[in-house]
A and B are shown apart, each in its own frame.
Chain A
């Protein structure tokens, strides 16, 4: 059972774990997330030695490799500040799977301690920062895509939409089967490309049919998948990480 999470008061500092997809493909999203946090008066610590949470190896069954990669991250957060992750997928890995991964090892205690401080970005902005936003953008219809990890593993179906709801000029459209997976699933998209393609096809259709000009997500895997499908079809719907979207419209 998911325990009720007690949120800390807004801290003076946070650690930021950028994730490998953001690092390599969407660094602006990471920087925008940092800017949002700094605007709330929080000092953002970015441990330079961070790489990847280890999830790709973990979900592929390569447990030893995943554990080694995860272990290399555990020591990066020595002070008791919250750790903010701009992804439900990596956040879910660190919060729910790190304890399992290190159970019975010397690092168990440290893994549990780190896992307990993991917050997904939108969760942190809503429940810890109590973020208030003033929309300065043009009127726009957007679809919110909440990743399966954010929605189900971390129980955060509401935080992304709650942030978008604060944007006065933005209309969040209702998509058919919004809670259904987009078909990314990490290595799933590579191992079962045709099934994955059928899923992303339905997702892009639902977003386009809902009349969205843009889709917003807090997970770069989904963005790469859904956005890549739209782009290949030469459809004008663009994806944007929620951190960039919020920063762009409110700064």
Chain B
């Protein structure tokens, strides 16, 4: 399999390629159908609306107090013996982690799943410094073996099917070609076990950082998260600044929403709560724990009271599982760390609109994402907001605002405005369109590649209503 690189600038070409790839189409359709069903079944007869309202309120409260909570988190982590670092951007975060590694003469890092580390390209940064970074989440491991990036934030290798995985494992690790999933899982487990024992540093993400207790919560299914955070002598947790919650009691509702929304699980196999390095008399655990808090554009999002809602996200992936666009083009097409609807409202802030201008339009605004979001992020409204920013009619506080505005399109919308605000011109225009319907082109750009061209009716509704009313008056007079 050749190595492909993806960029949001090439969304259209990448979408074209994905749509023409029956394997990608089938893999995603099957996986997304399964995930949608599992989610629906797992909520069963729960009062989902009330729970989503609760989840949204917990996140809103945390965001409302974000600066204070971050300080509280830092103080409580430090009191627990966790060293806290602040990084303005991904580069600084990479540097901090690299320096921690270097201070321990680390040659090998084992990683639990962390989208923030993907966002900041941590692996590449460490490798450049001669430090090997190995992914230990099974999906991430496969993606790394295949020299790819994750195609989904929860299931990084969802674009691969069993046969493809068998080929990758065979080519890169020498396992037998097989369709036996248990065999492959056992082989990967064996390969990873050795690496866990040899790793100098473990790097993990964080699902919830609890301010009042200084606790880092990590949600996972494979046990690799627990291994990453307990086996190597040093653990570095890295997370975006928005992941903080105020109270420990805020965690259960969010956890219940997260696992059900993501994979339809009532609970995950592992739920880790990390609150300190190894204490005296304890038998295991790292001797050092670090927390790296990454901003990377998030505090800029925070400044805008509407865009702020983007930061509620708990990274469940339900929006992509339910997105008819994501389901068809897959995750790589977006060319961003975070694909799908959440990616389309988050990536412009992380990368600027210049590179990501096609993402906010890559939605039919069907609303499925907003409907399933466990913390009720108004994703469709935020997509429209970013479309406004793209054409220079927003508040101008997203990098690259106005990049999509062209004189031609702006003039077309001004023309539409003029027609639609001059009713007699509108009536005359639509009436003429009806009269000239025979002249309507049968080719209308891309629309007619797949559909027939709509033809104006011979008469407008305005005219029909007039005739209808005249008929009625005549009947009444009779």
The residues of A with any CB-CB pair to B shorter than 8 Å are: 1, 18, 20, 22-28, 30-31, 34, 46, 48-52, 54, 56-65, 68-69, 71-72, 100, 148-149, 151-153, 179-181, 183-201, 224-225, 228-229, 231-232
Residues on the B chain within 8 Å of A65, using CB = 413-414, 416-417
A20, A24, A64, A184: the one within 8 Å of B364 (CB): A184
| Minimum Cβ distance to chain B for residue A129 (Å) | 19
- Tell me whether A63 and B450 are in contact (CB under 8 A): no
A191, A198, A228: the one within 8 Å of B454 (CB): A228
- In the complex where A57-B417, A228-B454 touch, is A23 in contact with B19 (Cβ < 8 A)? no
| Minimum Cβ distance to chain B for residue A125 (Å) | 18
Residues on the A chain within 8 Å of B389, using CB = 61
- Tell me whether B452 and A148 are in contact (CB under 8 A): no
| Minimum Cβ distance to chain A for residue B393 (Å) | 4
Give the residue name and chain of the B residue nearest to A179 (CB): B368
Residues on the B chain within 8 Å of A184, using CB = 364
Q: A23-B462, A51-B419, A193-B447 given. 20 additional CB < 8 A pairs?
A: A18-B465, A23-B460, A27-B460, A51-B423, A59-B387, A60-B413, A61-B394, A148-B365, A148-B367, A181-B364, A186-B365, A193-B449, A195-B15, A195-B362, A198-B328, A199-B328, A228-B450, A228-B453, A229-B451, A232-B451
- Tell me whether B461 and A22 are in contact (CB under 8 A): yes
The residues of B with any CB-CB pair to A shorter than 8 Å are: 12, 15-16, 19, 49, 53, 324-325, 328-329, 361-368, 370-371, 381, 384, 386-391, 393-394, 404, 410, 413-414, 416-417, 419-421, 423, 426-427, 430, 433-434, 445-457, 459-465, 468-469
Residues on the B chain within 8 Å of A71, using CB = 421
- Tell me whether B423 and A195 are in contact (CB under 8 A): no
A33–B389 alpha-carbon span in the complex (Å): 38
- In the complex where A63-B388, A180-B324 touch, is A188 in contact with B363 (Cβ < 8 A)? yes
Residues on the A chain within 8 Å of B363, using CB = 185, 188
Secondary structure at the A interface, as helix, strand, loop or mixed, is helix
Give the residue name and chain of the A residue nearest to B388 (CB): A61
A72–B371 alpha-carbon span in the complex (Å): 31
- In the complex where A181-B324, A198-B328 touch, is A27 in contact with B366 (Cβ < 8 A)? no
A193–B365 alpha-carbon span in the complex (Å): 15
A31, A54, A199, A229: the one within 8 Å of B324 (CB): A199
Give the residue name and chain of the A residue nearest to B52 (CB): A1
Give the residue name and chain of the B residue nearest to A19 (CB): B461
| Minimum Cβ distance to chain B for residue A217 (Å) | 14
Give the residue name and chain of the B residue nearest to A2 (CB): B49
- Tell me whether B461 and A23 are in contact (CB under 8 A): yes
| Minimum Cβ distance to chain B for residue A138 (Å) | 25
A96–B298 alpha-carbon span in the complex (Å): 28
Top 10 closest pairs, chain A to chain B, by CB: A185-B364, A228-B451, A193-B446, A61-B387, A181-B366, A152-B367, A49-B423, A148-B366, A197-B450, A27-B461
- In the complex where A61-B388, A69-B421 touch, is A190 in contact with B446 (Cβ < 8 A)? yes
- Tell me whether B416 and A59 are in contact (CB under 8 A): no
